[in-house]
Structure 1
Amino acid sequence: MTGEVIAELEVGVTPARALEIFDALPAVGIEEMYGRWAGSESPTGNPLDGLLGAYGWHGKRFSSADGVAPLIFAHNGELFGVEPAVIPVRLALRFPRLAHHPAVVAAGRLCLPLLKTGRPKARLRMVVYRGVATATMIYDSQPINDHFRRLDADTLLGLMDLRGLSEPFFFLLRREISAR
């Protein structure tokens, strides 16, 4: 059953269906999050759909409850954390066609190495969201909380809750076994 749900999320679902799946999944503890996770988007028609992948998002790294790299990108074979404070999320929401434009994406990918950081930029806390206490990544510099639920031992469904965004943004995280 889980494989079918993951396949469904990968292809894309409505926001209502994504929430239905999310609500049916078990909570995740903070310690279960530790390690590096490869990310992929779950399309729901959100204005942010496709942006992370287009810009080279690789995933997230959780070293401790207070040591979180929320945005790991890949560039020229290198993985590195990016400073979330300078990511123009509000601008991307206001002008989604511009944010998805190939020239803007190409320029953004070239600039990513200038935004590198080795410092933690988020933290993990247990937060009650939609009636369930689950591991939640809280950004230091953006009004964003990523709530997690378990699809299987090494796969999570993430829900990005951004202040002002009418529908949440959904993504999958897969534990990188070699990066435990």
Structure 2
Amino acid sequence: MLQQVNGHNPGSDGQAREYLREDLQEFLGGEVLLYKLDDLTRVNPVTLETVLRCLQARYMADTFYTNAGCTLVALNPFKPVPQLYSPELMREYHAAPQPQKLKPHVFTVGEQTYRNVKSLIEPVNQSIVVSGESGAGKTWTSRCLMKFYAVVATSPASWESHKIAERIEQRILNSN
């Protein structure tokens, strides 16, 4: 039975492996640029090796979020990266006309769900699944999302609204 591998119809399994090997070498030959791939659906060929190499290259470039289609892959940096979760960055993602056009980030997910809930046409209940192994950063990610919602849900126009935002933020963070 013939199989199609990366657009090729090889006559044998040996040929299929050779085509895959060529595609792998071509893809990994540009390894210097792997950190620029912000969506794993653009990795070609999609193999465990190419996906892991791409994530590794992004991690080494201190880029800890990568899209995989409509899923966000987050890598635990195992070090403090305060600028990655600053209120300024939260506001940037909140103010963006199309946050999905910005770099992959947990704030993109937060903003998309926030907009769906706040929609005046037809509000839609939202759920975010944060999963991973022990120590992967699930609690941190959840706290960042809750802090994001607390920051964007209130207007920073007055001192009073700032205090309200702080109280809401504290209540949300204490809930986790």
Both proteins in one fold, TM over 0.5: no
| TM-score, length of structure 2 as denominator length | 0.22
Of Structure 1 and Structure 2, which has the larger fraction of its residues in strand? 1
Q: Which has the higher helix share?
A: 2
TM score, norm. by length of structure 1: 0.22
Q: Rg larger in 1 or in 2?
A: 2
